[in-house]
Amino acid sequence: MNARRRHLRAAACLTLVGLLACLPLAAAFGSVNEDDMVLRLSAAERALPPDRLPDFDASCAALMDEDGTLWFGRNADDAAQIASLTKIMTAIVAADWLDASTMIEVTPEAASVGESSAGLAQGDSMTFDDALKALLTASGNDAASAIAQAAGARMLAQEGSGGDAYACEAAFVEAMNAKAAELGLENSFFANPHGLDFDAFAQGQYSCAADVATMLRAAMQIDLVRANIGFSQADITVQRDGAPVTLALENTDALLGSYPGACAAKTGYTLAAGPCAASAVNRGDGHKYYAVVLGSSSKPQRFVDSAALYDWAYANRSSLRAPIADEDIAGLAWGERVAFTVAWFMEGW
């Protein structure tokens, strides 16, 4: 960094400290993690009082906006199990290969995954549109494997090869990791399409809160996925033994229908991951938020934690700004840099 840039950054820091010193400090409440990150700076570096921070107990969290800006992070890049939040990536990758009307068949392997289920049976078939509801509303592990195997079969066919259900699913998981690299997820590795992480499924998978927020933001930009991730309940039709059968699906997320603007939600839980949730809020004010909480203290608490992140964002967005970065002023003449810095200080005051 040259002397001129150092002078500008130093002046910016001194002025900001002076401005913050003039602000009244409210009484502290709850516990505060001084390592929590607010727009690239820690709470300690910003000298934020406790009542200017979200109060929640999840061990890892991320709050991202529509531009991909990480407004808040707690251990947001730390490797963690994410359980069924994995299914967000499953939906993203499958949407690259399957149309809404593509028929998905439930193989014996998919029907027998176990744990969280959409109630699918071996031999059932349904459209990919309905399979997405089974995946994202009911969090069906059976739906996750059926979708992965259908899309994986297409991947192998494009390569001029084929394989059984396990080979098709393996091809799909490889595509999940390729998509993770494409999205810039530097702290994620996927080993299956459903997120189970124990016994035979303890395969070294991991992700982090910030990566899940990026995944959800990407998923919400896909029309078909966005249309199927916001149901608190839904009915789907499967063909079973030659006749249509209706399956009623329920979402365990408590934000949908109760928190203003909640428009997407995916929950997860395993013993290793603890209660976790990823959700989106859009109140039509030009801003969208994506909140991820991992390792909350209970299943109900994950929704309280998510709401706390959103409440904090709406209360503080206008008064919080990221520090001036080198790329913000790179290539600007001296006068332009001064003007940019002054405008940065004046914004929000």
* Residues taking part in catalysis: 84, 87, 139
**Average pLDDT for 324-345:** 56
15-29, 163-177, 254-268 — which is least confidently predicted?
15-29
More confident residue, 341 or 45: 45
Question: What's the pLDDT tens digit per position in 267-279?
Answer: 999 999 999 999 9
- Classify residue 63 as exposed, middle or buried by CB count within 10 Å of its CB (0-12, 13-18, 19+): buried
Closest by CA to 292, choosing from 282, 305, 280, 277, is 277
Task: Decide if domain 56-319 falls under CATH 3.40.710.10.
Answer: yes
- Per the listing, tokens 């820690």 go with 42
Q: In what order do the strands lie in the sheet with 125-127?
A: 103-105, 125-127, 233-240, 243-250
Annotated binding residue at 179? no
Sequence-distant (≥ 6) Cβ neighbours of residue 199 within 8 angstroms: none
Instruction: State how far the Cα of 74 lies from the Cα of 304, in Å rounded to an integer.
Output: 16
Count CB atoms within 10 A of the CB of residue 317: 15
Closest by CA to 90, choosing from 132, 138, 137, 153, is 132
Mean pLDDT estimate for the chain? 87
- Per the listing, tokens 């969208």 go with 288
Question: What's the pLDDT tens digit per position in 192-242?
Answer: 999 999 999 999 999 999 999 999 999 999 999 999 999 999 999 999 999
pLDDT at 40: 86
Task: Give 128's Cβ-side CA count (13 Å radius).
Answer: 20
| Tokens at 108, concatenated | 């014996």
**Average pLDDT for 136-152:** 97
Using pLDDT thresholds of 50, 70 and 90, give the confidence band for residue 339: low
Domain boundaries, the chain: 56-319
Give the percent of the chain with pLDDT over 90: 75
Sequence-distant (≥ 6) Cβ neighbours of residue 37 within 8 angstroms: 43, 70, 72, 73, 74, 76
Instruction: State whether the Cα torsion 216-222-228-231 is positive or negative.
Output: positive
